[in-house]
Amino acid sequence: MCGIAGYFQLSNAAAADASAARAMADRIVTRGPDDAGSWAEGPVALAHRRLSILDLSPAGHQPMHSACGRYVIVFNGEIYNWRDMRAAVEGEPYFAECVRAWRGHSDTEVILAAVACWGFEAALQRMVGMFAIALWDRRERALFLARDRLGEKPLYYGRFGRTLLFGSELKALRAHRDFRADIDRDALALLMRHNYIPAPYSIYRGVRKLPPASYLRVGADGAETLRSYWSAQEIAARGQAERFEGDDAAAIDELERVLSRSIREQMVADVPLGAFLSGGIDSSTVVALMQAQSVQPVRTFSIGFHEEGYNEAQHAREVARHLGTEHTELYVTPQQAQAVIPRLPDLYDEPFADSSQIPTFLVAELARRHVTVSLSGDGGDELFAGYNRYFFAGELWRGIARVPRPLRALSARSIHAFSPRTLDALARWTRPLLPRRLRHANAGDKLHKLADILGHNGLATIYRDLVSHWKEPAELVLGATEPPTALTDPARRIVLPDIVSTMMCLDTVSYLPDDILVKVDRAAMGVSLETRVPLLDHRVVEFAWRLPMSLKVRGGDGKWILRQLLYRHVPRTLVERPKMGFGVPIDAWLRGPLRDWAESLLAEDRLRREGYFDPQQVREKWREHLSGGRNWQYLLWDVLMFQAWLERHHG
């Protein structure tokens, strides 16, 4: 895990300067505190910050030149099948011409050899891993930028005049003299809807996020060609047509095989390694398969909270005890969690408002005290139908479609007459009488979401509503027009045979890379911790999409097959419980210890002076939240995270 940066002068006016690229990379030093390097030739300059994981010797230093002399690379990430790729390169008849001799055992050197032997796109298609790559072709005088299939590693780029800047984080681009920090109000509207800014947009005009599973070629004449080398949507559609044909037991066996292979490859490191463990299905499965392949106790990490409804530490502890891991947990006080908030604008660099960013940073910080690499269980919900909204949307539409709209409107008003807090209290009394699949945490907020969507006329708009915070963000953000995304662009429309599959695929191309993986990457790299996500090995993803929905959803529960695999290693009594988000009580904090901080950022005169938001809408939500009439924590957190970012970077 590292950080990369650099720039490409698209005119002959001036040669690139290695020191300027080095200054860009130095802004992301936490991504790579162990080593640094920079290089320039003609119009291009590359720089690298290294977190040493494999081949700790100088043979792994970057920027790295290919043995044939044609290519120069800076690379962030890990290629897990580098040994297989190395053997394949050695088997090529032109190996001696392209490689000559290996200098070390780094995956970076294997990438260069693969590109020299097979070409850039063919090399990408053979890679199994997470990565962001910048590669300079000295012969063609062309720059290549590439990103891994699922979007684990970030890569920004933007053209300012005749200078193309790129880097792992925006702070690297901001360090260059040609950068212009013009805030994109349209992207801000997307932030208000989603709590993140989806690719390819960024908070700055002219800066793009390279989409997952794609690469950009920039020629000497400045011409840009963006290509995809893998498609999650195509994999999903193909999986629907090429179903796994074995029985339940065969499917569980095959899942264990492909996931164990992924985990085995991702446990390779020349530094201490561990795993995050929440005690839920996904992280428990990853840890169970890690421990099954390890002769030593796996290091596991979790954090706990004293607030009811936010603590899973006791469940993680029980799973760790059963598996025999070397477990470390930390119970966090509200003061410790709140102390993270001033750091968020620098950690996340671009405004980002998933409030679980706070516990994510805390568990990463805890793990980094003991290890340099940590595996996580992210991706299980998107691949195996784990989110409650997958079932909620379909059941809801089937129920409300038969009800006249006036009656739906009356029902919505009835629900809104009670605060989420009151509904939560009522739910606690009635929970023992409900089926297990309806015993949800935060029932009050979920009922209010139900009320909000009773007026919809189709599943597509229901899904969009379920994943939206501010419902009309272009009316909130002054001067904004909401741009098209995977959820709204007809050219990118995803239609699969059933609504659950469609929602899972939409999440895989939007929510997963732009929220979940951003959250984990920035939190972990903020403390120089490498994170790896075995469930997002593209071979696991491709197998998961071949499974029929009956192996994912059964008896009203999602992740059926993942649960069955976990039960081979952990008793179901340790992991079966209602799904709980990884969050903190932002709602109560905003009414209590964070009230003054929030009030200063949401002051009406300040909002008018800065001119980004309609003050009336923001102040109305703030007043309702403070009164306890509604829990607007998520909508307010969206605004607050932008305001805090604006104050830090443009104050």
CA dist., res. 196 & res. 93, Å (int):
48
Q: Assess if residue 162 is contained within a domain.
A: yes
% the chain with pLDDT above 70: 94
Q: Assess if residue 580 is contained within a domain.
A: no
Q: Are residues 316 and 436 in the same domain?
A: no
Q: To which residue do tokens 């929030």 refer?
A: 598
Q: Has 377 been labeled as part of a binding site?
A: yes
Q: Assess if residue 380 is contained within a domain.
A: yes
CATH of the domain at 339: 3.40.50.620
Does the pLDDT at position 441 exceed 70? no
- 246 versus 98: which is more confidently predicted? 246
Q: Are residues 204 and 110 in the same domain?
A: yes
Answer with the one of 539, 574, 609 that is the final residue of a domain.
Answer: 574
Q: Are residues 544 and 609 in the same domain?
A: no
Q: Are residues 217 and 255 in the same domain?
A: no
Q: Are residues 322 and 279 in the same domain?
A: yes
Taking 3-state DSSP, the helix, strand and coil percentages for the chain, each rounded to the nearest 5, stand at: 50, 15, 35
Marked catalytic residue, from 2, 68, 98, 505: 2
Q: Assess if residue 99 is contained within a domain.
A: yes
Answer with the one of 230, 263, 285 that is the final residue of a domain.
Answer: 230
Q: Are residues 290 and 238 in the same domain?
A: yes
Kindly report, residue by residue over 39-92, the tens digit of the pLDDT.
Answer: 999 999 999 999 877 666 677 899 999 999 999 999 999 999 999 999 999 988
Classified as helix, coil or strand, 81 is coil
E strand or H helix at 252, and its extent? helix 248-266
Residue range 98-126: mean pLDDT, rounded: 91
Query: Tokens at residue 384, please?
Result: 């195996």
Cα separation values, 268 from 34, 78, 378, Å: 19, 10, 19
CA dist., res. 133 & res. 74, Å (int):
6
The pairs formed by 135-139 with CB atoms below 8 angstroms and a separation of 24 or more are: 135/71, 135/72, 135/73, 136/41, 136/44, 136/46, 136/71, 136/72, 136/73, 137/70, 137/71, 138/41, 138/69, 138/70, 138/71, 138/72, 139/70
Q: Which residues pair with 41 in a beta bridge?
A: 44
Q: Are residues 95 and 18 in the same domain?
A: yes
**Domains identified in the chain, total number:** 4
Would strands 156-160 and 142-147 be described as parallel, antiparallel, or unpaired? unpaired
pLDDT of residue 13: 63
Q: Are residues 511 and 495 in the same domain?
A: no
Q: Are residues 84 and 30 in the same domain?
A: yes
Q: Are residues 223 and 108 in the same domain?
A: yes
Q: Assess if residue 543 is contained within a domain.
A: yes
Q: Are residues 8 and 136 in the same domain?
A: yes
Least confident of 335-339, 473-477, 619-623: 335-339
Does the pLDDT at position 247 exceed 90? yes
pLDDT of residue 363: 96
Q: Assess if residue 435 is contained within a domain.
A: yes
3-class SS letters over 207-231: EEECCCCEEEEECCCCCEEEEECCC
Q: Has 479 been labeled as part of a binding site?
A: no
Q: Assess if residue 579 is contained within a domain.
A: no
Q: Are residues 362 and 426 in the same domain?
A: no
Does the pLDDT at position 429 exceed 90? no
pLDDT of residue 304: 87
pTM of the model: 0.92
CA dist., res. 170 & res. 77, Å (int):
18
Least confident of 172-176, 269-273, 410-414: 410-414
117 is catalytic: no
Answer with the one of 213, 230, 247 that is the final residue of a domain.
Answer: 230
CA dist., res. 6 & res. 40, Å (int):
9
Does the pLDDT at position 484 exceed 90? yes
Residue range 163-179: mean pLDDT, rounded: 97
Q: Assess if residue 581 is contained within a domain.
A: no
Q: To which residue do tokens 């599973």 refer?
A: 213
Domain of 597 in residue numbering reads as 586-650
Kindly report, residue by residue over 507-538, the tens digit of the pLDDT.
Answer: 999 999 999 999 999 999 999 999 999 999 99
CB atoms within 10 A of CB 91: 9
Residue range 365-382: mean pLDDT, rounded: 97
| Confidence tier at 440 by pLDDT (50, 70, 90) | low
